[in-house]
Amino acid sequence: MDDILGCLITATAGRDNGRIFVVVSRVDNNYYLIADGKYRRIEKPKKKKLRHIKVIVDADIDILQPLDVKENITNKQLREKINSYEIHMKDRL
**How confident is the model at residue 2, as a pLDDT?**
59
Integer Cα distance of 17 and 53 in angstroms: 9
Q: Which domain holds residue 54?
A: 2-92
Residue 45 has pLDDT above 90, yes or no: yes
**pTM for this one?**
0.88
**Which residue, 57, 35, 52, 54, is CA-closest to 44?**
35
- pLDDT (average), residues 5-33: 94
Contact 8, 82 (CB under 8 A): yes
Q: What's the alpha-carbon Rg for the chain, to the nearest Å?
A: 12
State the number of CA atoms in the 13 A half-sphere of 90 facing the CB: 6
Domain count, the chain: 1
Tens digits of per-residue pLDDT, 53-86? Answer: 999 976 556 777 788 877 788 999 999 999 999 9
* Cβ–Cβ under 8 Å, residues 5 and 69: yes
Q: CATH number for the domain including 32?
A: 2.30.30.30
